[in-house]
Structure 1
Amino acid sequence: MKTWHYALLVLLGGCCYGALSTFVKLAYSAGFTSAEVTGSQFLMGTLLIWLVALFSKKKKLTMPKIGKLLISGIPLGLTSLFYYQSLQSLNASLAIIFLFQFVWIGSLFEWFFYKKKPTMGKLISIGILVIGSIFASGIIAEGSGEMSWQGTLWGMLSAITYTTFIFVSSSVEKDTPVVQKSALFTTGGMITVFILSPPTQLLHLPVLMEIAPYGFYLGLLGVVLPPLLFTIGMPYVGPGLGTILTSSELPIAVILSSLVLSEQVSASQWLGVILILGGIVVGNLKISKKKMKKYAVLEKESTT
């Protein structure tokens, strides 16, 4: 595969996450609860990923390693629970803004856990990101009437747990095959969801059949595809460009919320989205070019 092919995979992974909020809102409008939506997503997603795992490369794992991978899936389940709770009181285009704060929260995690102090370029990009978030939230155009403290809290919690999952998943059992590792992460996430928000209504066959289409799309787009696409593509594009590419979730979320849900997105919100993307570019573009050249050279050497 060419280098740009790997970049496209990461871009598509970000687009998958961006489409989630629209499908969740559609499920809510159809009368389903947060527990039913989240439960169906993880149930369908776990079944799909294990189906793929049956025909994929696997490695024999000890019980401690299996337990570690299952525990590492807890932040994945918490992210969905928190994010979908925020969608109950926030517009889809606003909820995704709070989830998107994982970019600068990730820098704080890196500083705290790995002692990697942010560079000036990174600090500037974070500043632009915060300003862009204010515009994108709609506060400038409409005031704070569209916001609620509950939705804001759930949204920020989802950003923290999402960041935690990114850090944990990149450091736990690196030699485990991709699909097998994703399947165990997902199973851990499903167990977390089922314990904290039991989807008891899914035990009724009519309810399960009605929500199955939503669960299938949410499971595919939020549980199965992104981890696989990121795991395949990230090593080749590097973390800098990878961050830029995964930001595709933001414009996708805003565009779909406008086209599918008919949510009004003001000019200032579009400006905020542009500022956020620009802030990430400022902080990472220079590094990304170096990474792309590096991986292009490695790929060329591997084919000769």
Structure 2
Amino acid sequence: MKTWQYALIVLIGGCCYGALSTFVKLAYSAGFTSSEVTGSQFLMGTLLIWIAALFSKKKKLTLPKIGKLLISGIPLGLTSLFYYQSLQSLNASLAIIFLFQFVWIGSLFEWVFNKKPPTLGKIVSIGILIIGSIFASGIIGVGLEDITWQGIGWGMLSALTYTTFIFVSSSVEKDTPVVQKSALFTTGGMITVFILSPPTGLLQLPVLMEIAPYGFYLGLLGVVLPPILFTIGMPHVGPGLGTILTSSELPIAVILSSIVLSEHVSMSQWLGVVLILGGIVAGNLKISHTKKKKKSTSLELESAS
């Protein structure tokens, strides 16, 4: 596969996350609690991905490697817990802008841990994305009184753990088959969620049956697909570009809130969506251009020798 195809895979993973806030808001409006929503998401998602793992390629893993993959799933579970908690104290447009800070945190991680400082092109791309996120979130038309410190804290924590998962998924046990690796990630996430926020309501069969449709969609879009897509694409695009590509979640969240929830989306928000998409394209083109330049330079050196 080519680099742009791996980039597209990561982009789709980000779009999956963008759809979550719509289904979460629908579940909240149906009367379900945050712990029930998160618990059903990971319960259904883990069941789905292990069913897929039964029919996919597997590799025999040692207990230390299994433990490492389970631990690597912790930030996946924490992201849902923190983000859904922020949705309890902030409206969706504000909560997602704090989650969206993973865009620059990802480049910071790459700089600190991989010793790869961001290029000028990447900095410009991130700047466009942040400006676009401000417009797309609708924060300009929201009073400061609607912002709570608790909401900011939960939102920033979700950005940190989301970045951590993106970073980990691109570096841990690279030779493990994708579905098997993702299944262990999600299992670790489910254990984390069940320990920190026990969904006791799911023990009641009527509640479980009622929330099952929401859990299915949330599990598919938030637990099953992103880990698989990130596991496939991240090693080839890197966490820096990966975080830029996964920023597709914000415009998707805005578009779905308009179509599904019939929420008003202003012209400034649509402008923000366009800016974000432009930032994603700019970041991707910059990386592709750099790789082509390096490849042509190496070919020239080989020809000269």
Report the counterpart of residue 91 of structure 2 in structure 1.
91
Partner of 2:140: 140
Query: How many angstroms does 1:9 deviate by?
Result: 3.3
CA contact (8 A) 2:66 2:184 kept: yes
Post-superposition shift, 1:8?
4.3
Query: Which whole-Å CA distance do the structure 1 matches of 2:148 and 2:269 have between them?
Result: 18
Mapping for residues 283-298 of structure 1, pairs under 5 Å: 283-291=283-291
The correspondence of residues 110-259 of structure 1 with structure 2, limited to 5 A, is 110-234=110-234, 242-259=242-259
The residue aligned with 1:10 is 10
- CA drift of 1:249 comes to 1.6
Cα distance change of structure 1 residues 221 and 263 upon mapping to structure 2, 3 Å threshold: same
- 1:16–1:226 Cα contact (<8 Å) kept: yes
Q: Distance in 1 between matches of 2:292 and 2:273?
A: 25
Preserved contact between residue 87 and residue 151 of structure 1 (Cα < 8 Å): yes
- CA 1:92–1:293 in structure 2 vs 1: closer, same or farther (change >3 Å)? farther
TM-score by length of 1: 0.87
2-structure distance, mates of 1:230, 1:293 = 26
How big is each residue's C-alpha offset from its partner over 1:2-39, in whole Å with a ceiling of 9 and x where there is no partner? 77655543333222111111000000000000000000
Q: CA RMSD in A?
A: 2.5
Distance in 2 between residues matched to 1:158 and 1:258, nearest whole Å: 24
Distance across 2 between alignment mates of 1:37 and 1:292? 45
Cα deviation for residue 293 of structure 1 reads 9.2
Cα-to-partner distance string for 1:154-185 (whole Å, 9 max, x where unaligned): 11111100001111121111111111110111
Amino acid at match of 2:220: L
Which is further off, 113-122 or 63-72?
113-122
1: CA distance, partners of 2:125 / 2:131? 10
Find the aligned partners of 2:250 and 2:193 in 1 and give their Cα distance.
Answer: 25
CA offset at residue 55 of structure 1?
1.1
Structure 1 counterpart SS, 2:206? helix
Tell me what 2:30 maps to: 30
Q: Give the equivalent residue in structure 2 for 1:46.
A: 46
Q: How many residues align?
A: 295
CA deviation map 1:191-210 (0-9, x unaligned) = 00000000011111111111
C-alpha distance in 1 between matches for 2:10 and 2:284 = 15
Q: Deviations over 1:77-120 (max 9, x none)?
A: 00000011111233333322222221100111112222222222
Structure 1 residues 212 and 191, CA, compared in 2 at 3 Å: closer, same or farther? same
Structure 1 residues 34-53: Cα deviation after superposition (integer angstroms, max 9, x where no partner): 00000000000000111111
Q: Which runs of 5+ in 2 are unaligned?
A: 296-305
Q: Match for residue 102 of structure 1?
A: 102
Structure-2-length-normalised TM-score: 0.87
| Larger mean Cα displacement after TM superposition, 107-116 or 28-37 | 107-116
Gaps of 5+ in 1: 296-304
What SS does the aligned partner of 1:57 have?
coil
DSSP 3-state at the match of 2:51: helix
Residues 235, 105 of structure 1: alpha-carbon distance in 2 compared, 3 angstrom cutoff:
closer
CA distance in 1, matches of 2:115, 2:89: 37
Which segment drifts farther, 60-69 or 255-264? Answer: 255-264
* Cα distance in 2, alignment partners of residues 294 and 252 from structure 1: 34
Range 76-85 or range 56-65, more displaced: 56-65
SS of 2:263's equivalent? Answer: coil
Over 3 Å counting, the alpha-carbon distance change for 1:283 and 1:13 in structure 2 is: closer
Which amino acid is the alignment partner of residue 38 of structure 1? T
Inter-partner Cα distance in structure 2 for 1:223 and 1:294? 36
Q: Are the aligned partners of 1:134 and 1:272 in contact in 2 as well (CA < 8 Å)?
A: yes
Which residue of 1 is the match for residue 264 of structure 2?
Answer: 264
Question: Which residue number in structure 1 is paired with residue 298 of structure 2?
Answer: none
Once residues 64 and 269 of structure 1 are traced to their aligned partners in structure 2, the CA distance between those partners, rounded to angstroms, is 47
* 1:61 equivalenced with 2:61 (yes/no): yes
Q: Is the 8 A contact 2:86 2:154 kept in 1?
A: yes
Query: Which has the larger displacement, 226-235 or 284-293?
Result: 284-293
Whether contact under 8 Å (2:110, 2:239) holds in the other structure is: no
Instruction: Quote the residue 1:298 is aligned against.
Output: none
